[in-house]
Amino acid sequence: MYGPNTRSSWGSGNVDGNRVNDSFNNDRFNNDTFNRQVNVNNNFYNRGYNGWNSNWRDGGYWGNRPWNAGWYGGWGGWGWWGANAAAWGIAGLATGAVIGGLVNAAANQQSPVIVVPNTSYQLNYGSVEAVGSYGASFFYTVNGTQLLGAANCQQGLLNGQIPTDADQAQLLNAVCQVAYGAGS
């Protein structure tokens, strides 16, 4: 769903005493050690779960992403775009500058959420995580319901499918701009 070269799950590689097995001492579970290793508030974003990071102020979000970014330039390469855009009656999606401006404004207000342009969707940009080289996972809200989404920014897929309407295409584009855009 996320594309090639996706990252491995937490704990893969070295589980022989340095990560998981340190929590067990002769079949006795050590809760303190385990909690230090698996703590959603102790992550590489230095933010609370789906929260906000003070380093994101004044455009700082873009330089604080702990993955390679800057390659996403928009929706032009998605094979399904032309015919669907015509059917939906739209000529384009929000630009990187627009999305970047929304993220920067939200960060300056200590909010991890933006409204996706021309939709009723809210994107929690603070929850966006790169998955592999082209994918992203994220939380978004529709009609008050929080949902978990997955994007493949290279193929233009939302939750493994081509978007079914302009709102979904705008959401996909916003996620890809936040995950892999150059920022502003």
Same structural domain, 167 and 137: yes
Same structural domain, 61 and 137: yes
- What's the pLDDT at 179? 95
Least confident of 27-31, 52-56, 93-97: 27-31
| Backbone dihedral angles phi then psi of residue 173, each to the nearest 5 degrees | -60, -45
pTM of the model: 0.76
| Backbone dihedral angles phi then psi of residue 93, each to the nearest 5 degrees | -115, 170
Same structural domain, 92 and 63: yes
Band (pLDDT 50/70/90 cuts) for residue 50 is low
- On whether residue 2 sits in a domain, the answer given is no
Mean per-residue pLDDT over the chain, rounded: 81
> Distance between CA 44 and CA 64 in Å, rounded?
10
The encoded tokens of residue 133 equal 């080289």
Band (pLDDT 50/70/90 cuts) for residue 30 is low
> Distance between CA 47 and CA 128 in Å, rounded?
12
**Do 121 and 142 meet the contact criterion of CB atoms below 8 Å apart?**
yes
Same structural domain, 31 and 58: no
- On whether residue 49 sits in a domain, the answer given is no
- On whether residue 67 sits in a domain, the answer given is yes
> Distance between CA 3 and CA 51 in Å, rounded?
26
Percentage of the chain with pLDDT > 70?
A: 73
- On whether residue 45 sits in a domain, the answer given is no
81 pLDDT more than 60: yes
How far from chain centre, in Å, is Cα 119? 18
> Distance between CA 92 and CA 53 in Å, rounded?
31
Percentage of the chain with pLDDT > 90?
A: 60
Domain containing residue 121: 54-180
The encoded tokens of residue 7 equal 């990252």
Same structural domain, 20 and 92: no
4 pLDDT more than 70: no
- What's the pLDDT at 22? 43
Counting the structural domains of the chain, the total is 2
- On whether residue 48 sits in a domain, the answer given is no
- What's the pLDDT at 49? 54
- What's the pLDDT at 6? 54
| Backbone dihedral angles phi then psi of residue 100, each to the nearest 5 degrees | -60, -40
How many CB atoms lie under 10 A from the CB of residue 158? Answer: 19
Q: Residues 8, 12, 14, 17: is their CA dihedral positive or negative? A: positive
- On whether residue 1 sits in a domain, the answer given is no
Same structural domain, 80 and 122: yes
Same structural domain, 35 and 73: no
